[in-house]
């Protein structure tokens, strides 16, 4: 059994939630090439960003010679191996300026960890700009 892909975390996890991102253009393939990652061999399947402002990044890739070339192939491999795929983790220090051009949109939803609410009823929205 492999290492579990977990929920984002910080040292104290004061705020917890979810996040999502859309990549720009070729996704992280251009960033991988910039960092010297062989995009003919590897396909990005996951990434981690941490620090504030963003200071570290891990790009998680699969070897297409092992798991297949398409996302469907990766999914089929995962299903036939109890949800686990072998990956390579390329870690580097970075800045928002370096990562920014590769992300079209980013969203994070965070709630204080001790409150335990699942939904909210917004009674007023105030534009502070």
The model's pLDDT over 6-49, given as tens digits with 9 standing for 90+, comes to 778 888 989 988 899 998 888 888 999 999 999 999 999 999 99
- If you search the block for the tokens 């890739």, which residue do you land on? 61
Cα(31)–Cα(36) distance, integer angstroms: 9
Task: Let me know: does 87 contact 41? Beta carbons within 8 Å.
Answer: no
- State yes or no: pLDDT of 2 exceeds 80: no
Residue with token string 């297409």: 64
Q: How confident is the model at residue 1 (pLDDT cuts 50, 70, 90)?
A: low
Asked if residue 53 has a cis previous peptide bond (ω within 30° of 0), the answer is yes
Number of neighbours of residue 57 by Cβ within 10 angstroms: 21
Q: Are 10 and 34 in contact (CB under 8 A)?
A: no
**Domain spans of the chain, in order of start:** 29-103
Residue range 84-97, pLDDT digits in tens: 999 999 999 999 89
């Amino acid at each position: 059994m492999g290492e579990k892909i977990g929920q984002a975390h910080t040292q104290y996890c004061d705020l917890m939630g979810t996040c999502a991102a859309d990549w720009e253009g070729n996704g992280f393939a251009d960033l991988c090439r910039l960092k010297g990652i062989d995009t003919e061999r590897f396909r990005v399947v996951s990434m981690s960003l941490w620090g504030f402002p963003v200071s570290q990044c891990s790009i998680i890739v699969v070897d297409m010679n092992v798991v297949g070339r398409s996302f469907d192939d990766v999914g089929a491999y995962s299903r036939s191996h109890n949800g686990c795929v072998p990956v390579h983790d390329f870690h580097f220090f970075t800045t928002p300026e370096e990562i920014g051009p590769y992300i079209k949109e980013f969203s994070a939803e965070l709630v204080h960890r001790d409150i335990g609410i699942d939904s909210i009823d917004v009674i007023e929205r105030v534009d502070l700009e």
